[in-house]
Structures are given as C-alpha cells and as structure tokens.
Amino acid sequence: MSASYVPRRLPHRDGQMKFLISLLGESVKHRSHLRSVQLVGGVGTGKTATAKRFGEVLRGTAEKWRNELKVAYVNLRRQGSSRFLIFNSLVEQITPGISVRGYAPEEVLNVIIKYLNSTGRFALIIVDEVDYHCKHRPREKIIYDLTRLDETSPNGYSNIIGVIFIARNPGWIEMLDEAELSTLGRIQVKFPPYSSSQMRDILFERCRVAFKPGAVSNDVIDFIADVSCSPPINGDARYALDLLLYAGTLAEQRGLDKVTAEHVRLVHSSLCPTISTEDIDSLPQSYLYVLLAVARALRNAGNPYVHFKDIQSTYNIICEYRRIRPVRDLFEVLDDLAARELITVKGFTKIGISGVTAEALLHYVDDVIRRVEEAIGDLKNK
C-alpha cells in the first residue's frame, strides 16, 4: 500500500505504456541517439508509476539483448534545489562509487557520459515534477542540459537513450525558452483522470495483493471508487489508495477482519483530500515541522486561516520542545508548501490548508497533524 510501490500491472495505462515502448524500446538493442518525452496529467493519474514500470520493462528488454540499462529517477520537488544536487543524484544511481564532490554541474554530467561510454552501458533518466522546478527555479536550465547530452559526448552518443519528463500541467513548456524547446520536442503522453470503473479495477488489483481474500468486499471497493472520482478528488488514485489503506488500518485496530463502508466513511470524513501520504512522505524533515505548525495553529484558532505570527509562535514552540534548529526563512518555506499545493498563502494574514473549509477544519487538521507526526517518527527511526 506504500505510495512508492509500483505494481507489475497498471490497469488502464496500457496505451501509455505501449507508446513509450514504441518510442524507446529499440534503443536498448543498439546504440541510439537520446529521445525525450513528456508524461502529463493531474495528481494521482499514474504518471510516475507508469514511468517507473516502463523502466523495469525496458531493463528486462536490454538484458535479453545482453545489454545493461541503468534507470535513474529524480523528483525535483525533493532533490531539485540546484543543478548539482540533481545531477549528483543521477551519478549516485548510474555510476555508483564515483565521487563528484567539487565538480561543476556540467562536469558531473560528463562523468556519467564517460562512464556509460567506457562500460558500454545504457541509461534512462526519469525527471519527475519538472513543472514545479521550472516555475520556482527558472535559472536552473536542466531541460537544456539533459536534452543535449549527445552533443557533449565526443562520439555524438551519450548512451543515455531517453529522458522522461513528468509534469502535472501540460502548459509547463511555456516556461521554457526557445533553446530548451528545440531539443525537448513536443511529444506529450496524456494521463487523464481515472473514471469510477477504472478506479474500481485499480483498487481491486491492489486489494488482491495487499489484503486477505474477502477482507474488502466488492461493494466497499465500489464505494471507495465512487468517492475518489467525485469532486473535489476527481479521479485521484493516490487518494483512493490512502482511503483504502486507512480504512483497513481502522478495521484492524478494532480487531475486525473485514473493511466496511462505515470504516471508509469515517476515514473519508477526516482525510484531507488535498494532502496525500505521498505528499507528506516527499517533504524534507524541516518542512514537516513547518506543516505541523500550520496545522496546530489552525486547530488552536478554529478558523480556516491564521496569521503568520500565529504560525511563527507555534513553530518556535515546536522547535524548542523537539530541540531542533528553526529554518532560516519560515515564510519562504511556507511559500514553497503553497507551491506544492499543500497550503494556501494569501499574504501574511491569511494562511491555511488547501481545500479545507471551516466546517471540516478540525477533522482535516487533526488528520494532517497525525500523519505529519507519523512521518517525523518514521524519519527518526531510520
């Protein structure tokens, strides 16, 4: 049930998978020039899972041709604060054991190309949340760097067969300059929201591998699918899986061997639809404490919005109690959380959690507090 789990079968994404295979499938048989492609769709539409599963399939195809394919994945919300950190993450996945400390970003990429050419290996790069990165770090021209890797190789081949860029907004390319657009191309693979019947298939498949037979009835699966495909969730598979996970956890806590519709109703009434478990898991630990401060300040105030000073005061108490060093610029972190669509920032006087109404405030805020504290605890136990 983990957000990072990639099932072997992805219901209703066969068309997207077949297109990727047709585009890059031949590239692992022999040396080919780099090709780039964009996967575009809303939250929870299967973009990341499809890209990762495609990487696994392509790695298997390469092995059949006695070639080795390295698949590197980088999430720019988590690792995209600088070109060096992004490229260093690629080095760690593609060329393990090679240190690039003190290198310029361009030199880091050259290390990857040199390694692949000298060993005869291939690589596929998956770049997630690229629209977020381009919006908030426009000076870091990673699109230009990653789409021109063949040009930087002495023999004209980087052995990086492709770069998959994943974005929520199809209009993200409007933020690019002409030089970036010319090599990126305009191949976009669309990922529409799941329908209720499609969501039912996804849930059924996940129940098959995560629950005991009979623990989740077809009626309960139908109910979760209908809830997850209605406003404001609108076909978000991540929310549906969270709903299934926490309903199962609730049933288990009560000593029951079956998940009921009532368990789903109770979880749905408290689960914040705009903040998924994956969203929380993707945050740096310092951001988790800030989000915790927002939630606690909202709960204390009992209003959908609070003043920055209330959050600052709550945050300082959290830092003092947990003996952690405060972030350098609290409002900058709040602004970043807003960019991730986790909170709403309307100046210093109105800060709240995205999508939370006054009526549902306490239910949602308590859920966010619980899940953030769980995430902090998991990080400490690692």
Q: Which of 146, 168, 164, 219 is nearest to 53 (CA)?
A: 164
Q: For the whole model, what pTM was predicted?
A: 0.85
CATH topology of domain 277-381: Arc Repressor Mutant, subunit A (1.10.10)
The 10s digit of each residue's pLDDT in 309-345 is 999 999 999 999 989 999 999 999 999 898 888 899 9
Domain boundaries in the chain?
14-191, 196-270, 277-381
Euclidean distance between CA atoms 317 and 60, whole angstroms: 52
Q: Are 93 and 70 in contact (CB under 8 A)?
A: yes
DSSP 233-272: T-S-HHHHHHHHHHHHHHHHHTT-SSB-HHHHHHHHHHS-
Percent of the residues in the chain that have a pLDDT greater than 90, as a whole number: 66
C-alpha count within 13 angstroms, C-beta hemisphere, residue 344? 14
CATH topology of domain 14-191: Rossmann fold (3.40.50)
**184-185-187-193 Cα dihedral, nearest 10 degrees:** 50
Domain 196-270 has CATH 3.30.1330.10: no
Euclidean distance between CA atoms 122 and 160, whole angstroms: 6
Q: Which of 309, 290, 307, 306 is nearest to 298 (CA)?
A: 306
Q: Which of 241, 215, 211, 209 is nearest to 227 (CA)?
A: 241
The 10s digit of each residue's pLDDT in 193-249 is 999 999 999 999 999 999 999 999 999 999 999 999 998 889 999 999 999 999 999
